[in-house]
Chains A and B, each alone.
Chain A
Amino acid sequence: MRSILEHLPHVLLPDPARESDDPGVPRDPLEDDLVRPAAEEDLARSAARGRRSPLARHVLHVVEPVDGALPLCARARLSVEGVRVTDAHFDTGFLHQGLERRAVGLAVDDVAVWRLVGRAEPPPLPQLALSLALERLAGVTAPERARALRGVVVDLVAVQEALYVLGDTALRAPRLRRAARALVHDVDALLQGVVEGDTLAATGGLRRDLHADERTALLRLLPAAERGLARLELAELADLAGVGLLPCAIARSAGVDGFVGRAGGLADDTPCDQAFEGSAPGEGQATGCAHARLRTRLADAALALQRVATTLRELPDGPVRRAEFTIPAGIAHAVVRGPSGSWSVLVAVEQGRLQRLRLRPPEVATIAALPRALDGVALDDVAAVVASFGLRMTALDR
Chain B
Amino acid sequence: MSVPSLVHARLPALRAVLPARHSGDVDVLQVPVPHLRTVLSFLRDDADVACDHLVDITVVDHGPAAPAGAGRAGPRFLLVILLSSRSHGTRVRVESALDDAEPTYPTLTTLWPGALLAERELWDLFGVVADGHPSLRRVVLPEGATGHPGRVNDAPGRSPWPPRGGSGGGAHGDGARDGGSR
Residues of A within 8 A of B (CB): 24-26, 28, 30, 69, 91-92, 94-96, 98, 100-101, 104, 136-137, 139, 252-257, 267, 269-271, 330-333, 335, 342, 344, 346, 348, 355-356, 358, 360, 364-365, 367-369, 396, 398
Contact = CB atoms under 8 A, between A and B. Distances in A.
B113 A254 contact: yes
Contact of B55 (A92, A100, A252, A255): A255
B162 to A, nearest CB: 10
Contacts of A346: 56, 58, 80, 82
B90 A332 contact: no
Interface string B29-43: 000000000000000
Contacts, number: 116
B118 A360 contact: yes
Given A267-B86, A368-B116, A137 B60 contact: no
Interface string B141-171: 1111000011010100000100011000000
28 contacts: A26-B143, A28-B165, A69-B142, A92-B117, A94-B142, A96-B124, A96-B125, A96-B141, A96-B149, A96-B160, A98-B149, A101-B125, A101-B154, A104-B152, A253-B113, A255-B55, A270-B55, A271-B89, A271-B90, A331-B60, A332-B26, A335-B84, A335-B91, A344-B55, A346-B58, A356-B60, A360-B58, A360-B118
Nearest to A268: B86
Contacts of A330: 23
Contact of A254 (B91, B114, B149): B114
B140 A96 contact: yes
Range of interface residues on B (Cβ < 8 Å)? 35 or more
B117 A348 contact: no
Contacts of B150: 100-101, 398
A331 B86 contact: no
A348 B113 contact: no
B61 interface: yes
A101 B95 CA distance: 21
Interface centre among A24, A255, A269, A333, by most chain B C-beta atoms within 10 angstroms, is A255
Contact of A342 (B55, B124, B141, B160): B55
B97 interface: no
Interface of B: 23-24, 26, 52-56, 58, 60-62, 80, 82, 84-87, 89-91, 93, 95, 112-114, 116-118, 121, 124-125, 137, 139-144, 149-150, 152, 154, 160, 164-165
Given A96-B160, A252-B52, 20 more contacts: A24-B137, A28-B165, A94-B142, A96-B124, A101-B125, A101-B149, A101-B150, A252-B53, A269-B86, A271-B85, A271-B90, A331-B23, A332-B24, A332-B26, A333-B93, A335-B91, A346-B56, A368-B113, A368-B114, A398-B140
A367 B117 contact: yes
Contacts of B23: 330-332
Nearest to B82: A333
A71 to B, nearest CB: 9
B140 A270 contact: no
Nearest to A254: B114
A227 to B, nearest CB: 36
Contacts of B149: 96, 98, 101
Given A101-B150, A136-B24, A335 B55 contact: yes
Contact of A271 (B91, B125, B140): B91
